[in-house]
Structure 1
Amino acid sequence: MKVEWLYEKHDKGVRCLVCERKCLIDEGKRGLCKNYANLKGRLVHVGYGKLSALESRPIEIKPFFHYYPNSTALTFSGFGCNFYCPWCQNYHLSFSDIPEWIREISPEELLTLALRNKDQGLCASFNEPATLYTYLLDVFELGKEKGLYCCLVTNSYFTTKALRNLIESGASGFSIDIKGCPEMKVLGTVDHKKVFRNAKEAITLGAHVEMVYLVVPNANDFEECYRWIFSMHLKMLGEEVPLHINRYYPMNYWKEPPTPVEKLLKLKEIAQQEYNLRYVYVGNIGSVEHETTYCPKCGKKLIIRSGFRVLKWNLKDSKCPRCGEKIPIYGKFTRP
């Protein structure tokens, strides 16, 4: 356990300021994500270093398509979440309490393993990284010192202070899930505007952002919702920030059939043609065509991907070799 200083004292407890849930926690109790507790009037990170998974994985699987292409990251996760999506594919981690028997893995141990595996980076994923916030600050600081990139797969519901602290500690990549829109009934009080606020703030602070829209039938797939997502993406983030439109499959409590591929392709067409988004990908359908990066100016195939790896790299100095168009790529390409 470790004291987390991002909190406020109140007469009725302490208010956690790690994420926008801002849980008011009574003495001896934990917040919604189950990782932060009020112990004697202090906010303590009881989930510090308590990891549920740990493995090297391709960066493209996150998904990151414009961030350190073809590299691998030592990927790790904790327990619990601050959203509890009913379709969560990692619900066995996100909906779980922290096991009492699990031992803490120190930031130094994690870094040693990444270097031994010859990973190029570190990535907090699988469950929501906000549950590991205090731990991430220490891990990313060590990783940055050793020249490793540091990234997150997140719902990005951090407070702005927590987000800035993460970036200052070394976080440079954010794969952000946009769950829905203001009209969406599922997930209750989540303010989806704050997700875009944080994505914009991360870009302003020099980090790389890619947005992921999992299209869930009868949850966030209606027209008002996807048009809100596309318009907010263009307005807040700009046309060059990648957008991944991904297919949902039945999981956890949500038993709707998989998202029709035809709908995903139609949404890609709308995002590109009506909202001028330049890098739109369709994931979870196993399509090389829809995971390939094309030059938005001349249409040349620039980065061909399959199986979460880069098959062909046609960029020259991050530019299209045919027309010279600059393609936004953060970090270097790792050759096979």
Structure 2
Amino acid sequence: MKIDTGLTMPELPESLSQAGLQFAVAAEEDFDEIMSMSQDIYGGLDYLPTRYTSWLQDTNRTVILARKQGKVIALESVCVIDDGETMLVEGLRVAPQERGKGVAGVLLRFCAELVKSKYPEGILLVRFRAEELKFRLSDFNSSGGFHSSQSTSSPKPSPVRLDDTAIKQLYLTTDVMHGVLPNATIIQDWQPFKLLPSNLSILLKKDIDWMVDDEANPTVASLCTFPFRVPIGNDWYYLNIDMFGKDLSLVLQQFLCHLQRHTAALKGHVMCQLFLEPALWENMADFCQSTLHVELVKEYTEQCVVESDVV
């Protein structure tokens, strides 16, 4: 995504518009003013002077400036990767006289709003009563289920639940999951796990239900945490489902299987958060509301992962 200087900036939340800052896309003529903020960065070893021009030419990157009374006081670089799924922020700079005043946080939130204005949401948070959903799922299955109402293709085999041995075999000894997982990484409950034996050992200690559409050649996989109580009120539960893959019919199939398995014995309210491919968000939201008749609580997608490789 390349944001040029003709871009219409997104409408800001009140918390940002009241910050007294103006935002703009950086240009070559801003170089000297930006460099004045970087003199003490990394003890004089700042990389930005040599990368600034190439950043402006990078088609996947946008450099955003924050101005106060016309003067540049902060900079942030935004790079969109993974086909629009991930936003990387890099090169944060704040003028010395403005540090400690919350400018960095305001600029980061603006960048998030900017990217979200160009990319669809990928996280669904829905709410329902477990008892009511059980009846809806029963009616849904008795009427022919997903294949009769949502797809013209022939019925697909039922999803496969994996045990520990099958999980290790599939995720560690072959490369087939590399094409399913984003950047060959398991994202479980907001946390990224590279495909390493040590990481898989951590995940296998958790109460997670692992599922794929085909154990030999999967195109969709999912991880569902077992429901747990939350203190929002009496008999409130939380359910988290991480979906990987782009086939809507298979994603829906596994989603319904997880709901049936993990809510059947519950009584009370359930908050279910579903992570999925951004391109599927609209169809999944429509399915949840129109077919399952569950409440869409919040439309958002913000996963902030900070990684550091320590040698």
TM-score by length of 1: 0.27
Return the index of the structure with the highest Cα Rg. Answer: 2
More helix as a share of residues? 2
TM-score by length of 2: 0.28
